[in-house]
Amino acid sequence: MRAVEAQNYSAIMQTSTCFLITFLSCCILAAVGSCPKEFANLEESTIAHENIYTYSNVKPPNPTVGLLYPRESNTREVRSLDGIWNLLRSNASDPLQGIREKWYKQNIRATNHEITLMPVPASYNDVTVDQRLRDHVGTVWYERHFFVPSRWRKDRMRVWLRFGSIHYEAIVWINGQTTMRHSFGHLPFEVEISSYVNYGSENRITIMVDNRLNNRTIPQGQVVKQVNDNGFAYIQTYTFDFFNYAGIHRSVHLYTTPPTYISDVELKTQVSRNQIGRIDYRLWLGNAEVLNVKSTHVLVELLDKNGNVAAHQINRDIRNGTLLVPNVKPWWPYLMNPDPGYMYTLEFQLIAEGGTEAEPNNELLDAYRLPVGIRNLSWDKDGLFLNNKPLYLRGFGRHEDSDIRGKGLDNALLTRDFSLLRWVGANAYRTSHYPYSEESMQFADQHGIMIIDECASVNTDLFEPELLLNHMSYLEQLIHRDRNHASVIAWSIANEPRTKKKAAEAYFGALANYTRGIAQGRPLTAASNVDKPSECMMSQFLDIIGFNRYNAWYHNAGRTDMIVQPMYDEAKNWRDRYKKPVILFEYGGDTIEGYHTLPAFIWSEEYQTTLFSKHFRAFDRLRELKWFIGEFVWNFADFKTEQAFTRVGGNKKGVFTRNRQPKDAAHLLRKRYHALALKLDNASLPADLFDYIIDWN
């Protein structure tokens, strides 16, 4: 088992009874807002009702190893377990009934509880017409059966089970035996199940998924018990403004590796001024202790996108190396180069040498391929640079959200979204407010879309040591997952945390110090929403200053004459305070599609376009100062939120509707983004950018 939250596999198996008792206790206590302390001798004082902590006892999480994206090769097989699973909803008042009654020891149909057929991947909330399932707080149980061929045992293959994401916490059983536990939604985890499967026959996988959030989860929330018409109900409360979808959100894979295998790959790239590419790589090997290192080597080949060998080497140092690439084609963002998103394929073959020099008999132990974009990334106090060229980011905050499937992976929707990103002329987006699917990261690489990669810390508050440990662990798993993506240009450590509080200073100081040590050559940023830069206890620790501001919406609603100067002044205040590059991560206003008013009135499509246009004026003044490096609309598309009288069918700030059709503002934004690409990078304008009006000649 190789995810940080699912380490020490053998220890879990040996102490499963003890683990379950501890888990039950923690879950029960978490439901009422309490949890046992994991850290002794914490220094805590109260100043004006605010707890101030020290974090000397918080030890950095163990590094993640493994979790390579499942890819077939001549030594590996990959099978999908996506499809229709069985789902059982636990009683909200007794979420741990299934643990006590050992539902994992039998087919869940034998429990005589109602079973729902549920697609995977998908959020379970909106698939059915059952309100209880949509609003469920607590645990649900998933189950399906799968077949393992006998030849996998005959060929001595290792068998792995991998989840792209489950929200929020999961315990997994194979044939009634505990195999792993993982916390944190939106991140992958896996375990080797070779010793738990029945070869040549059917196997059962059972998963308990718990969607409850508390003060120490990432993100935070609280479960409260409220009186209703039938007695009482458990309500999940949270402060973030998107629906708390739950379930198996991304693909489930069964895959194999050989007995000795490549378990992990780390890449770092550079491009020299004479167009020589450089790839520094590091390999981790599973079961490497059986190798005769003197008679083992790694064959490294780099293939261009036409399948031609661009560079190769034989390396007898089987764990580290450098590959030089003559006449390299660098990775460029969309509209900064005629051939954006250029991706090579890098293949590693682990080979054991045999035979004689005259008659060699080499054995291929393992082969793994992955895409790689080769580029430089750097930053200073004035800007962010890719391949030594200054970047100006134009894009969106987004959500993984759609009708029926919720946050479930949908390749058709993913394709549509990237088609719209290119149509509108965007070159970047922030993964607000959690890591997006691995498939979307691959799309970003291929399309030349730059990513501000954000962890799931939203509205961070209370700043307890246990929270810091989870926050560190979340960022470590995120960075480990995405470190090899050319599209990732920065890590966002939080969105709108409560950084006015004095406790935030030590918390984010410790968090940023840890994250910078594992940042893989990327800057740190975050999105602040304090009223004054001097009030933010976090931004001093960042490399790039980010802020959210809703002028003419949450501030001075309806007053589009109060946008240009306030926006200019605030951005300049952030710069004057911290002397670092500045990005506006969120601006915008809700818009009901088809609602028109003249003159423009709040919530109308005319109001959204006017609000955007006024912001453009401020941005152009700021761009002239060089240190203002990006503008991100909130949001790419409308999305679902919790039920509230302030939200009519969800958040409507999207420039596209929830079913991905443009509002009027999308056409205005398209003109803006493509015009910026022409002005800054001499890109060609689309032929259909402007409609014909008159022959001005």
- Residues with a known catalytic role: 496
Of 403, 391, 436, which is closest to residue 657 (Cα–Cα)? Answer: 403
Task: Please state, in angstroms and rounded to a whole number, the distance separating the CA atoms of residues 428 and 451.
Answer: 6
Contact 548, 492 (CB under 8 A): no
Other CB atoms closer than 10 Å to residue 42's CB: what's the count?
17
C-alpha distances in Å from residue 410, one per residue of 73, 351, 400, 407, 458: 25, 38, 10, 9, 24
Task: Please state, in angstroms and rounded to a whole number, the distance separating the CA atoms of residues 431 and 449.
Answer: 12
At what angle are helices 465-482 and 503-516 packed, to 10 degrees? 30
Other CB atoms closer than 10 Å to residue 40's CB: what's the count?
6
Q: What DSSP string describes 655-691?
A: SB-TTS-B-HHHHHHHHHHHHHHHHHH-PPPPTTSS-
At what angle are helices 664-681 and 605-623 packed, to 10 degrees? 20
Task: Please state, in angstroms and rounded to a whole number, the distance separating the CA atoms of residues 281 and 287.
Answer: 20
Tokens 């002329």 belong to 425
| Residue 256 CB partners (closer than 8 Å, separation 6+) | 76, 77, 78, 152, 157, 158, 159, 160
Task: Please state, in angstroms and rounded to a whole number, the distance separating the CA atoms of residues 635 and 655.
Answer: 7
User: Where does residue 215 fall: left (phi above 0), alpha (psi -120 to 50 degrees), or beta otherwise?
Assistant: alpha
| Residue 106 CB partners (closer than 8 Å, separation 6+) | 176
Residue 384 main-chain phi, psi, to 5 deg: -120, 135
Q: Which of helix, strand or coil describes residue 468?
A: helix
Q: Which of helix, strand or coil describes residue 585?
A: strand
Task: Please state, in angstroms and rounded to a whole number, the distance separating the CA atoms of residues 381 and 521.
Answer: 16
| Residue 34 CB partners (closer than 8 Å, separation 6+) | none
